[in-house]
Amino acid sequence: MKPLRSLLAAAVGVLVLVPVSAVPASAGGSFRPGAPGVGDPYFPGYGNGGYDVKHYDLNVRYQPSTDLLTGHAVIYARATQNLSSFNLDFLGLTIDKLAVNGRAASYTRSGQELSIKRKIRKGSAFRVDVRYHGVPQTLQIPVPGIVLEAGFIHTDDGAVVAGQPEVAASWFPVNDHPKDKASYSFAVTVPAGLAAISNGVPKGHKTRGNWTTWKWEQRTPMISYLATATIGEFRISTTKHNGKPTIIAIDPDLPPDLADDAVGRTNEITDFLASKFGPYPFEANGAIVDDYDNLFFALENQTRSIYSKFFFDSGATTGETYVVAHELAHQWFGDSVAVEQWDDIWLNEGFATYAEWLWSEKLGEGTPQEIFDFLYAQPLTAPYWAPPPGDPGPVDLFDDSVYTRGAMTLQALRVTVGDADFWKIVRQWYARNRNGHGSTAEFVRLAERVSGEQLDALFQAWLFTDTKPAHPGGAATLSAAAADKPNAVKSLDQRLRMKR
């Protein structure tokens, strides 16, 4: 039975709605400014409201000797409300010309908010042209234990463009939040002799005089932080795998074979993950490894993960493949199935870490259960028990707990619902949310629907407390393999604590 209150609310809703929608001039409400943020609870200023971007056509020229970038961004969008003005996120660079639907538009800027005045009716498509130039500022992004150079990172021979949660606004005007995915085309012009690597499928490169323009096309929608235009000297190898191009770009200044062995297994590891999760999401694949000394992370840039060279200098043959499994797993979880909000981050990092455990099992270096038991046996002073991975807060967004306890949550779910239902949940999570988004609440609902079990207590304990939950299988008996620190744990340890 419906409570009386909601029936009343529905009736009132109808009474209010009818007269408003009967007035055609205000369909979609009166013309108001689009919100300056999408309302992310951790990062209220990220992204913008009132429209949806369909496509970015990015034309940029970069001169490494002066660090100067000249850009022309064409943004194709659709209004989701009656707009009197709308915002883009754009940081630091100078705007030379700005037009909406081909007509110059007036704008104001404050911090990263670029506010553009134009009346646009709800539902109508519009086009924004921004011509701009300047030296993109490299962002300093604090993650637990270290401040990372990220975004547009100037290197000796070009730039590495990568970072999260928000970096795109430092090199093009953008609706900068995972909520608004779009397709991209890139034309990146660099001094002849250098390469420019972006996402998706290569559309060739042409040299005219002293400049070469590299074109790339990313048709499957992408989150803005995953866009790259990484520039420099690169050895580029292109192979066809399952009919799709795999582009691996490695800095020739790196010792030969340093990174080649591990990132050279990209296709093999992708096939392994596809056998677990479902078909690989995108139309291309690949990797970028630059020799820049201050790059201390890897990132799951769509179709073209970017790796610090320091992941590949240990000499540990299998140990160096875990990070590749991690970034490739993000193509499914993080890139294709994106967070709704940044507090869903464990759905990215927990899954990518769990993929490392699956890869570990494939390598014969410990099963997910053995890795779980090793980690479970460690005291509460171990670095991954807190904060709660389901709500780490913006400062600890990339805390060890989000990765490790996030993956442990998945293993606890697996033990609770059994293998068959676990894999149904994982595969459905991807199949249903492919090229879209998913939240923690939706994941819990799916797990309960598939398993027919009440799982609130399990997820509450694993995601939202900072104590050690009960062992899901009862008392743990540590196997010999689990008593030794598994390679998967060593690899993540080293990556999370790099340069600390």
Residues in contact with ligand TRP by the rule CB under 6 A: 141, 143, 148, 150, 163-164, 297-300, 326-327, 349, 398
Tell me which of ligand TRP, Zn ion, none is bound by residue 398, counting a contact when its beta carbon lies within the kind-specific cut-off of 5 to 8 angstroms: ligand TRP
Query: Looking at beta carbons, which pairs linking 254-259 to residues 24 or more positions away fall under 8 Å?
Result: 254/289, 254/291, 254/309, 258/309, 258/312, 258/313, 259/289, 259/307, 259/309, 259/311, 259/312
Instruction: Supply angle C-alpha 469, 471, 476, rounded to 5.
Output: 145
In this complex, which beta carbon is closest to ligand TRP, that of residue 120 or of residue 289?
Answer: 289
Closest-CB residue for ligand TRP?
Answer: 297
Is 352 a binding residue for Zn ion by CB under 5 A? The answer is yes
194 binds, among Zn ion, ligand TRP, none (CB under 5 to 8 A by kind): none
Closer CB to ligand TRP, residue 56 or residue 311?
311
In the complex, least distance from residue 135 CB atom to ligand TRP, rounded to whole angstroms = 20
Q: Which stretch binds Zn ion (CB under 5 A): 88-96, 171-179, 258-266, 346-354?
A: 346-354
CB of 323 to Zn ion, least distance (A): 9
DSSP state of 364: T
The sign of the dihedral angle between the CA atoms of 454, 463, 163, 94 is positive
Looking at the Cβ atoms of 87 and 164, the one nearer to ligand TRP is: 164
Residue the block writes with tokens 């990015």: 58
DSSP symbols for 93-137: PEEEEEEETTEE--EEEETTEEEEEEEE-TT-EEEEEEEEEE-PP
Residue 75 interacts, among ligand TRP, Zn ion, none and using kind-specific CB cut-offs from 5 to 8 Å, with none
Q: Please, what is the minimum distance in Å from the beta carbon of residue 396 to ligand TRP?
A: 11
Going by the DSSP 8-state scheme, the letter that residue 138 receives in this structure is P
d(CA 355, CA 326): 6
Q: How far is the CB of 489 from Zn ion (least distance, A)?
A: 15
Minimum CB separation from ligand TRP for residue 341, in Å? 16
CA distances 288 to 233, 269, 292, Å, are 11, 16, 12
Instruction: Identify the CA nearest to 244 among candidates 220, 263, 228, 262.
Output: 220
Residue of minimal Cβ distance to Zn ion? 352
Phi then psi for 52, rounded to 5 degrees?
A: -135, 120
Among residues 141 and 347, whose Cβ is nearest to ligand TRP?
141
CB of 189 vs ligand TRP, minimal distance in Å: 26
* Region near Zn ion per CB under 5 A, out of 88-96, 216-224, 350-358, 375-383: 350-358
Q: How far is the CB of 392 from Zn ion (least distance, A)?
A: 14
Say if residues 327 and 299 touch (Cβ distance below 8 Å).
yes
412 touches, from ligand TRP, Zn ion, none (C-beta below 5 to 8 Å by class): none
Look at the block and give the residue holding tokens 């875990």: 322
Provide the binding-site residues for Zn ion, judged by CB under 5 A.
349, 352
